[in-house]
Amino acid sequence: MERHTTLGEFIIKNQQDFPYAKGELTALLSAIRLAGKMVNQEINKAGLAEIRGKAGNENVQGEVQAKLDVLANDMFISTLRDRGDICGLASEELEDFVVFNEDRHKNANYVVLFDPLDGSSNIDVDITVGTIFSIYRRISPTGTPVTLEDFLQPGVNQVAAGYLIYGSSTMLVYTTGNGVHGFTFDPGIGSFFLSHPDIKFPESGRIYSINEGNYVHFPQGIKKFIRWTQELDEADKRPFTSRYTGSLVADFHRNMLLGGVFLYPTGTTAPKGKLRLLYECNPMAFIAEQAGGMASDGYGRIMERQPTELHERAPFFCGCKKEVEKIEWFLKQED
């Protein structure tokens, strides 16, 4: 029986792919891997441990937090703090970024941004959720406290990004700018094993993922794209299939493996879009591009947008290149 490569072995073997390979990538991804295993364990026993439901608080976005939102956020912060390779972090659940001032962090060169539990409203009904993370090299001088500017970098500056998906199996998918690789968690052994090497989006797909309940609020270009996907055209393999779970990680993962496109446009209920540029759009865009897909704000490459605030929102279209280009075409026809 062939022995599969573990995540740790794969990272060490491919450390030369990391722009500043000095062991930092191994430590950072090891911390994320550990936190992900802890969150996975809590999700799997959520009903028994009475940690389903709402926590009774609102996050900085004005959204009611699930109990597991809070738990996952705390787990990632404490696990990352224990490592000396990052000087600060930012979370979708926190209003401000966190500065690490301990001695072991003084020479750290990296910041981490993350969404601890994407799609947490699905927890109570046992639908797939995930964690999204993004890693940047700081731009402020090493040895000084991390600054806001270290976090407000365009997505093209990411040195690594990935997600954990907690579903029928738990997977960690990541990129350092040299392809996308997926690792499946074996709970019996307690390790992630390489299961999906060099993942690629198909050139085009037959799935579209959007909350059509908001159709009346969508821009005309998006309405026309949706109608286009529903037209009968056997040569163009239409109509498409609609699949939407309310979890970006789940929809993105399916679309990357099977071929599809994810949409979250602007609208009267979300005038700037709903997804967060730093915690959701940029890391998923980095993964998409490295897998041969495309990610856009509707008018151009989303990773080139310059963030102006930690919790900035943006419209987001991501998936197979052909469909994302079609979305841009429809939107530009309406200008």
Known binding residues are 92, 115, 117-121, 211, 244, 274, 280
Order of strands, sheet of 98-99, starting from the edge strand that comes earlier in the sequence: 98-99, 86-91, 110-118, 129-137, 158-166, 170-175, 180-186, 191-196
* Overall average pLDDT of the 12-22 stretch: 70
**Whole-structure pTM over 0.85, yes or no?**
yes
Lowest mean pLDDT among 1-10, 112-121, 322-331: 1-10
Q: Which among 279, 288, 238 is positioned nearest to 261, based on CA atoms?
A: 288
Q: C-alpha distances in angstroms, 7 versus 33, 181, 296?
A: 9, 10, 30
Write the CB contacts of 25 (distance below 8 Å, at least 6 apart in sequence): 11, 15, 18, 160, 176
Of residues 126 and 181, which shows the higher confidence score? 181
324 has a pLDDT exceeding 70:
yes
CB-based burial label for 95 (10 Å; 0-12, 13-18, 19+): exposed
Known binding residues for substrate are 118-121, 211, 244, 274
Give the model's confidence band at 288: pLDDT under 50 very low, under 70 low, under 90 confident, else very high: very high
Q: Which residues pair with 137 in a beta bridge?
A: 110
122 has a pLDDT exceeding 80:
no
Cα(first)–Cα(last) distance of the chain, in Å? Answer: 58
Known binding residues for Mg(2+) are 92, 115, 117-118, 280
Contact 119, 249 (CB under 8 A): yes
Q: Which domains does the chain have, with CATH numbers?
A: 7-196 (3.30.540.10), 207-333 (3.40.190.80)
- State what percent of residues in the chain have pLDDT above 90: 72
Give the model's confidence band at 49: pLDDT under 50 very low, under 70 low, under 90 confident, else very high: very low
pLDDT digits over 232-261, tens only? 998 888 999 999 999 999 999 999 999 999
DSSP string computed for 275-318: EEIIIIIHHHHHHHHHTT-EEESSSSBGGG----STT-EE-EEE
Instruction: Tell me what pLDDT residue 27 has.
Output: 85
pLDDT digits over 157-215, tens only? 999 999 999 988 999 999 999 999 999 999 999 999 999 999 999 999 999 999 999 99
